[in-house]
Amino acid sequence: MRSPDRFFFTKKSRLIKLYKKPVFGMSHLRKTFTMRKKEGLADYRYFPEPDLPEVVLTGEYIDEIRNLMPELPEAKRRRYENMGLSMQDVIFLANDDKVAHFFDSTLEHGADAKLAANWIMGDITAYLKDEKLSIDESKLTPLELSEMLAYIKNGTISGKIAKEIVVDLIAKGGTVKSVIEEKDLVQIADPAAIEAMVDQVLADNLKQLEQYRAGKTKLQGYFAGQVMKASKGKASPVLLNKILGEKLKGSC
């Protein structure tokens, strides 16, 4: 009766069938040996198929296909870098297609790239994370974000007011203009009005004013906070700091 078959694999993964009787007269070595090698292309029959026509791709065809493809991540990262964004901004924006699309759409409406990136990565993302929402589930549109950033730049609203507005826009939608009008959030940019508030705050805080004159200059922040409180956060920070600084300097 024939002995049971045994199978071994060589280094070339070639199956060799051995019997108990000696193979090549070297079974005592308990080794297997490669019987033949395939090294050349011809051994694997890598040659043209005569029944298949040759495929020729023209440069125009390749360009056409390339133009139909979506922007690849590396190209998107390079584009964002060329906008002057930091690597942290680039990675955050480019790694999420939905965020990148929202960002690009915001820029198409004329928004500043760095300002838009800061708001998307900051307050908007923080709110969405708390509410467990993705950016495409937000009711805030790229157009309205662009409008809000424009209002900040032209001084109509402050960054502090914008933080309140953006939450409303994400949760309820609508327009920046309607939220500003509904909540009376237009920034106070009248120097005379701000000066009057500064004078009132200084008059109401004579003790702190004396301490400021004595060298506690950090109290300027306290006075600014009191003016912002009196204006319900609507005083222009730039004008406020300018007028307050002049008043405090003149009081010393």
Residue found by looking up tokens 């109509």 in the block: 156
Of 160, 183, 206, which residue sits at a domain end? 183
In a domain, 55, yes or no: no
In a domain, 218, yes or no: yes
Residue 93 and residue 139 in one domain? yes
Q: What is the rounded CA–CA span in Å between residue 228 and residue 217?
A: 18
Residue 79 and residue 105 in one domain? yes
Per-residue pLDDT, 103: 97
In a domain, 164, yes or no: yes
Residue 121 and residue 213 in one domain? no
Residue 229 and residue 150 in one domain? no
In a domain, 60, yes or no: no
Domain that holds residue 240: 191-251
Taking alpha carbons only, the member of 132, 87, 89, 96 closest to residue 113 is: 89
Beta 6-9 vs 15-18: how paired, if at all?
Answer: antiparallel
In a domain, 150, yes or no: yes
* Contact predicate 93/120, CB 8 Å: yes
Residue 144 and residue 178 in one domain? yes
Residue 145 and residue 93 in one domain? yes
30 phi and psi angles, rounded to 5 deg: 55, 45
Residue 91 and residue 169 in one domain? yes
Per-residue pLDDT, 16: 44
Taking alpha carbons only, the member of 12, 83, 5 closest to residue 43 is: 12
Q: What is the rounded CA–CA span in Å between residue 22 and residue 124?
A: 77
Residue 21 and residue 84 in one domain? no
In a domain, 240, yes or no: yes
Residue 157 and residue 221 in one domain? no
Per-residue pLDDT, 120: 97
DSSP tag of 62 = H
Of 183, 202, 228, which residue sits at a domain end? 183
Residue 138 and residue 176 in one domain? yes
Q: Which residues of the chain have pLDDT under 70?
A: 1-29, 36-48, 251-252
Residue 101 and residue 162 in one domain? yes
Per-residue pLDDT, 43: 65
In a domain, 49, yes or no: no
